[in-house]
């Protein structure tokens, strides 16, 4: 008896039999193997990144959020810091107008104004950046300067900043080239000292020098997946000319540099008269570019960050408002967490005042509020989901007891 011949399906693109491939997908009038499907996907992805397929969406003045609109949106989430909000709102609005002017091809070319925000920890620099990202019609990313090093050293290359922006823009280069980058902790790459050293400052001045070409505007070759460059790697060319850079840093100790410049500690009648109007509780408001230079930023990078603004330290009124008023305030977050377990959470008014007192004592700004509330609520968050209860009220006595218990436990473990 003759053996029946087996007929195999074949790929309509490469002609290989289904027994020679891993998968063969059948359609109405043809088949495609897994290898051809992968190649088709890569070809389509590359086409989308070209000017034809990756062209940015059209902007127009009517759809742009005006500076007042941007600031009003920030006011819903960030308490105070009106000066910083105004600088940010105007800079972002002007960034939109630059993109429009670029498309029109006018003779007068508007230069971009990169921003640097200075403020002590917990005043809202990163929160401002995260909040404004919700409103923007351009790609926006937040990167941390602390992980950056010179090329060839352990850490991330400076070009990894643009890798994050490409990822946000879905690897559409034209979209990424009009985006906004917030570089956090810019003060951590300050020059380590004025004295020359026998070792390289690979995470300080070296990073600043590497950032110069990004901030100014140049074509940078970016590894698409981040990490280190190697010769066989395919690079993506990104022009940073129209990318707006916003930098933020705590610059801890810069108040001393400001005080020295203002000469607040000299003797004599005239000197005392000149410094009488200086608010020594908020020296940050008098910050100038020369103070950044004294702190350790090189003059070239200061010149590429022409807009300098500051964030005020948070006083008692601001901390009290931050606790309960914003849309995503700390207290509202905990109320929502308990609400998901069917528990209605409430706080006595004295508890809020106690939390603010402790935050001022710890000098951690708004972040201190979060850690204090977490310490107070940790036991309740552990026990309540297993209990059958509809309400939970936090009293001042309970808050004090929880905080004291945690402090004693830390002392015993030290």
Residues 88 and 159 both lie in one domain: yes
Residues 287 and 339 both lie in one domain: no
CA 284, 286, 289, 293 dihedral sign is negative
What is the predicted pLDDT for the residue at 54? 41
Residues 140 and 170 both lie in one domain: yes
pLDDT digits (tens, 9 = 90+) for 160-196: 889 889 988 888 888 888 888 999 989 888 876 655 5
Asked if the model's pLDDT at residue 116 lies above 90, the reply is: yes
Backbone angles phi, psi at 94, to 5 degrees: -65, -30
190 burial level (CB within 10 Å; 0-12, 13-18, 19+): buried
Distance spanning both ends of the chain, measured CA to CA:
87
Residues 33 and 141 both lie in one domain: no
Q: Is residue 89 part of a domain?
A: yes
Q: Is residue 53 part of a domain?
A: no
Q: Is residue 82 part of a domain?
A: yes
Q: Is residue 263 part of a domain?
A: yes
What is the predicted pLDDT for the residue at 134? 82
End of a domain among 263, 293, 310? 310
CA–CA dist 208, 216 (Å, integer): 12
CA 384, 387, 391, 396 dihedral sign is negative
Residues 28 and 174 both lie in one domain: no
Residues 162 and 103 both lie in one domain: yes
Residues 290 and 400 both lie in one domain: no
Range from 18-32, 209-223, 262-276, 334-348 carrying the lowest mean pLDDT: 262-276
Answer yes or no: are the C-beta atoms of 278 and 250 closer than 8 Å.
Answer: no
What lies within 8 Å, CB to CB, of 108 at 6+ separation is: 101
End of a domain among 282, 310, 338? 310
CA–CA dist 360, 364 (Å, integer): 7
Q: Is residue 189 part of a domain?
A: yes
Backbone angles phi, psi at 211, to 5 degrees: -75, -20
Q: Is residue 54 part of a domain?
A: no
Q: Is residue 284 part of a domain?
A: yes
Residues 262 and 323 both lie in one domain: no
pLDDT digits (tens, 9 = 90+) for 4-33: 667 788 898 888 888 888 888 888 888 999
Asked if the model's pLDDT at residue 352 lies above 90, the reply is: yes
> What is the domain extent for residue 187?
61-310
CATH number at residue 120: 3.40.50.300
CA–CA dist 34, 22 (Å, integer): 7
CATH number at residue 366: 1.10.8.60
CA 231, 236, 239, 245 dihedral sign is negative
Crossing angle (nearest 10°) for helices 125-133 and 67-75: 120
pLDDT digits (tens, 9 = 90+) for 38-47: 888 877 766 6
Beta-carbon neighbour count of residue 157 at 10 Å? 22
Backbone angles phi, psi at 225, to 5 degrees: -105, 10
Residues 80 and 208 both lie in one domain: yes
pLDDT digits (tens, 9 = 90+) for 361-405: 887 788 889 989 999 999 999 999 888 889 999 999 999 999 888
Residues 102 and 234 both lie in one domain: yes
Beta-carbon neighbour count of residue 343 at 10 Å? 18
Largest CA distance in the chain: 121
Backbone angles phi, psi at 312, to 5 degrees: -70, 145
End of a domain among 270, 294, 310? 310
Residues 274 and 139 both lie in one domain: yes
Q: Is residue 135 part of a domain?
A: yes
Beta strand 24-26 with 219-222 is unpaired
What is the predicted pLDDT for the residue at 95? 84
Beta strand 344-347 with 391-394 is parallel
What is the predicted pLDDT for the residue at 354? 93
Backbone angles phi, psi at 409, to 5 degrees: -65, -35
Residues 139 and 270 both lie in one domain: yes
pLDDT digits (tens, 9 = 90+) for 254-271: 888 888 888 755 445 555
Q: Which residues of 314-328 are buried (b: 16+ CB within 10 A; e: fewer)?
A: beeebbbebbeebee
Instruction: Give the count of domains, the chain.
Output: 3
């Amino acid at each position: 008896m003759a053996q029946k011949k087996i007929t195999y399906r074949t790929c309509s693109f490469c002609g290989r039999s289904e027994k020679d491939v891993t998968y063969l997908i059948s359609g109405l009038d043809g088949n495609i193997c897994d290898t051809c499907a992968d190649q088709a996907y890569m070809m389509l992805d590359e086409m989308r990144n070209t000017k034809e397929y990756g062209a940015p969406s059209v902007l127009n003045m009517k759809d742009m959020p005006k500076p007042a609109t941007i600031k009003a949106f920030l006011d819903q989430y960030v308490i105070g810091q009106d000066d910083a909000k105004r600088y940010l709102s105007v800079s972002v609005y002007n960034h939109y107008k630059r993109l429009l002017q670029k498309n029109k091809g006018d003779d007068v070319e508007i230069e971009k104004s990169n921003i640097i925000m200075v403020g002590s920890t917990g005043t809202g620099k990163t929160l401002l950046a995260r909040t404004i990202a919700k409103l923007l019609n351009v790609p926006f990313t937040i990167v941390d300067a602390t992980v950056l090093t010179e090329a060839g050293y352990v850490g991330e290359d400076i070009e990894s900043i643009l890798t994050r922006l490409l990822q946000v823009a879905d690897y559409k280069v034209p979209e990424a080239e009009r985006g906004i980058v917030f570089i956090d902790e810019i003060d951590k790459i300050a020059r380590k000292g004025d004295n020359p050293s026998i070792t390289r400052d690979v995470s300080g001045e070296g990073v600043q020098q590497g950032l110069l070409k990004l901030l100014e505007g140049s074509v940078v070759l970016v590894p698409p997946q981040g990490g280190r460059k190697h010769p066989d790697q395919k690079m993506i060319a990104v022009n940073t000319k129209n990318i707006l850079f916003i930098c933020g840093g705590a610059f801890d100790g810069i108040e001393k540099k400001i005080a020295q410049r203002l000469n607040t500690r000299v003797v004599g009648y005239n000197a005392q008269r000149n410094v009488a109007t200086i608010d020594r509780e908020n020296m940050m408001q008098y910050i100038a570019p020369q103070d950044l230079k004294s702190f350790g930023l090189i003059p070239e990078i200061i010149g590429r960050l022409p807009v300098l603004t500051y964030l005020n330290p948070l006083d008692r009124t601001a901390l009290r408002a931050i606790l309960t008023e914003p849309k995503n305030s700390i207290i509202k977050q905990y109320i929502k967490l308990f609400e998901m377990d069917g528990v209605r959470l409430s706080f006595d008014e004295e508890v809020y005042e106690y939390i603010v007192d402790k935050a001022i004592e710890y000098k951690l700004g708004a972040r201190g509020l979060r850690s204090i509330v977490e310490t107070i609520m940790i036991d309740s968050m552990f026990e309540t989901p297993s209990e059958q209860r509809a309400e939970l009220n936090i009293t001042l006595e309970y808050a004090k007891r929880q905080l004291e218990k945690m402090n004693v436990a830390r002392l015993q473990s030290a």
